[in-house]
Amino acid sequence: PPGVPASSPLAQDGRPPSPTTPDEEPVLHIPPVRAKVSRGVTKVILNVYDLNPTDAKKKYITNANNWSMLVGIGAFHSSVEIHGIEWSFGSSSDKVKAIQPCLPRKCCPNQYSYRLSVDIGTTELDPNEVNDVIAEFCKMEKYFGTSYNLLKNNCNDFSDHLCRRLSGNGIPKWVNRGARTLDKLVEGADSVAKHPVTKSVGKAINVAGQGVKSGVTVGIAAMKKSIEVSSIGLRALVSRIDGMECMGGRRLLQSCYGEESKGMYSAEDSDEELLPPLEEEDDEAPNKGFRVNNRSFASAKQATTSL
């Protein structure tokens, strides 16, 4: 434009200069001084990115967005392109540097991969006036780096605000629907957790849990007591059987309790010669009897029944 030096960053239609060589990294220049720019109509473009690096071997978010976009939802980053410069908002410890410019469709390639662009509308603001709008946004507390919130105040909220300011049109709802949906779910879960009924139910569950714990403790104690009583009774039975003739009494005990009867005698009484293995009973064998308390029995089964 007339009056603008050829070396000025906005020498050609308010756009940053191109690199001098193909291998040279493109450098973004923001005009440090106001220059007189002819007024015209300029497109306002929304550039949308997937939340994975451009050079990532496996783009999980991109693949997920390919499917989720079919129902109008996804996980996206967005920036606003105007006069050849793209503006975006992100988290930063420096509140002034939260809003940053970059070359179109080149926003943070180590974090995002470009997906598509959406024509939002047009604006009559020249580059200087757009810079004034950006400077105004930078002074807003909601766009300080420390005010960034992934669900409530993110890059898409900034893009929507800037697009409305420049063109009067907001961004498509699907761009930020994923964050909004997740935010509603978090709010709903938090509301349920804080509701008086939920607290009452939680308290009731806690009391019931304490009751179950106490009941289990009492039950275990009663079971232990029952086992102790049973053990005392069993030992008394063993002592009574011990009063019978040695061989017959122990044969009877072994017949009733099997292998468990071996632990019912002390080490002094555990002579294998006194307690030979019990042979299989045969009711037809007439000579296989024994005596208990001066009474003769043909088999252990008969002795158990009679006693």
Strands 42-50 and 295-297: unpaired
Contact 88, 102 (CB under 8 A): yes
108 as an active site residue: the answer is: no
Rounded Cα–Cα distance for residues 206 and 199 (Å):
10
User: Please, which residues have CB within 8 angstroms of residue 123's CB and are 6 or more apart in sequence?
Assistant: 41, 42, 44, 82, 130, 166, 167
Identify the sign of the CA torsion 299, 302, 304, 307.
negative
Q: Among the options 102, 107, 155, 163, which is catalytic? A: 155
Q: Which residue in 77, 102, 107, 161 is the catalytic one?
A: 77
**What Rg do the C-alpha atoms of the chain give, in angstroms?**
44
Alpha helices in 69-195 (DSSP H): 127-138, 155-167, 173-194
Active site residue 29: no
Cβ contact 65:149 at 8 Å: no
Q: Which residues on adjacent β-strands are paired with residue 153?
A: 149
Beta-carbon-side half-sphere exposure of residue 266 (alpha carbons within 13 Å): 3
Cα distance between residue 47 and residue 113, in whole Å: 11
Closest CA to 171 of 98, 107, 119: 119
Catalytic positions? 77, 155
